[in-house]
Amino acid sequence: MIKIYHNPRCRKSREGLQILEESGQSFEIIKYLENVPREEELKQVLQYLNMAPIDLVRKSESVWKENYKGKTMTDEEIIKAMTTHPKLIERPIVVKNSKAVLGRPPENIKSLL
């Protein structure tokens, strides 16, 4: 099953969703701002992405700049920050089986299909 961690207000996320819709494959939409991933789920997604937690953070968000920028943080603390403030999670993320891609640019999603 394919999953997309989606923010409907984000243009890149909407473009990623459109790619999935056009693929004809079935998928699940996870609106991660409403349905915040648990820390364990986010760790699993990071493993599938083969990314460090800091690389999945939207560093331009004001909540990052005001609360975390310039601080030395462990991976665990960064993951906790993302689950506490899901706006910090870069989007969209598409997961298929044990692989995942960050849909920036949205065309990255095609590599999973």
Degrees, nearest 5: CA angle 46-49-53: 35
- From the candidates 10, 36, 73, 113, give the one annotated as an active-site residue: 10
Distances (CA, A) of 35 to 29, 32, 87: 10, 5, 12
50, 31, 34, 75: CA torsion to nearest 10: 10
Active site residue 10: yes
Cite the active site residues: 10
